[in-house]
Amino acid sequence: MNFLLDEVARATLRLAEAGVDSPRTDAEELAAFAHGVRRGELHQVADSDFDALYWECVARRAAREPLQHITGRAYFRYLELQVGPGVFVPRPETEIMVDWAIETLRAMDVADPLVVDLGTGSGAIAISIAQEVPRSRVHAVELEEEALAWAKRNIDATGHGDRVTAHRGDMRTALPELDGRVDLLISNPPYVPTEDAAAIPPEVRDHDPASALWSGPDGLDTIRALEGVGRRLLRPGGAMAVEHGDGQGIDIPRLFPEELGWRDVRNRKDLARRDRFVVMRRADD
């Protein structure tokens, strides 16, 4: 094990010098990937098995290619998802919003709740809800063809194809056949201001799909559009959750005013105690 630990330590230093945020974790994850084990199983790797593939992976990560693109997998709640070029890599911060959605669905007096996930990307949100709310029926909408292919792959791989249906479409106009019937609408939409491009890490700026990132000068263009989508799709009393970026929590609640039929509009925080997503309900008739 000493040789392996030395190699991981060298890789950690190289990744740190390249500006990677979590160099030790990434060095260990790459070692686990290169040798076909879990990170917690690295002790099973013999020194003689430590080959050039690892250093190829480290070089790619040092060039700021996303860790998940190198390993081909991303973890989200209880899922291991397949990801790669063309799809937004799911973030741990979004898991808190899914927590809220699952708790909300479980509290509803609805036998088979109808859920819509707009901008599904890898399918992380849609599949998690289907898995953790077993009687739910989830419709996952994605505009980009490459991303939709990843979502379908993950839906099939996790065995939830009977309750998660993937649709290609624009979230602004999708699923008119469900107008006024949806119990819960959830979205992690694009919300990065275009003026912030220079400050975005290269893993995100250069590798996540542009359509999953940018949303006008203030980052709120898509969320403004989702207000109307929510009014169209949700049933009276239905719930909605929308993720947003740092500093946007002050502006978003006013986009869902009471005079347009919204109730209980509140910002919710992530584990770092930062405003992360806004929740609301449609007024009962």
- In sequence order, what are the beta bridge partners of 168? 142
Q: What does the alpha-carbon distance between residue 48 and residue 244 come to, in Å, rounded to a whole number?
A: 47
Query: Is position 188 annotated in a ligand binding site?
Result: yes
- The response to whether 122 counts as a known ligand-binding position is yes
User: Which neighbouring-strand residues pair with 140?
Assistant: 117, 166
d(CA 169, CA 281): 24
Q: How far is it, in rounded angstroms, from Cα 237 to Cα 263?
A: 9
Please check if 189 is assigned to a binding site. yes
- Distance, in Å, from the CA atom of 258 to the CA atom of 177, rounded to the nearest integer, reads 26
3-state SS string for 29-83: HHHHHHCCCCHHHHHHCCHHHCCHHHHHHHHHHHCCCCHHHHHCEEEECCEEEEC
Please enumerate in sequence order all residues whose Cβ is within 8 A of that of 259, keeping only pairs 6 or more positions apart, or say none: none
Tokens of residue 192, six digits: 């990065």
Q: Which amino acid is at 206?
A: D
Residue 228 counted as an annotated binding residue:
no
Does 238 carry a binding-site annotation? no
Has 121 been labeled as part of a binding site?
yes
- Report which of 213, 210, 200, 209 is spatially closest to residue 64, judged by C-alpha positions: 200
Q: Tokens at residue 38, please?
A: 């879990």
Is 237 annotated as a binding-site member? no
191 is in an annotated binding site: yes
Kindly report the backbone phi and psi dihedral angles of residue 274, in degrees, each rounded to the nearest multiple of 5, phi listed first: -105, 140
Binding residues for S-adenosyl-L-methionine: 119-123, 142, 188
Binding residues for substrate: 188-191
Binding residues: 119-123, 142, 188-191
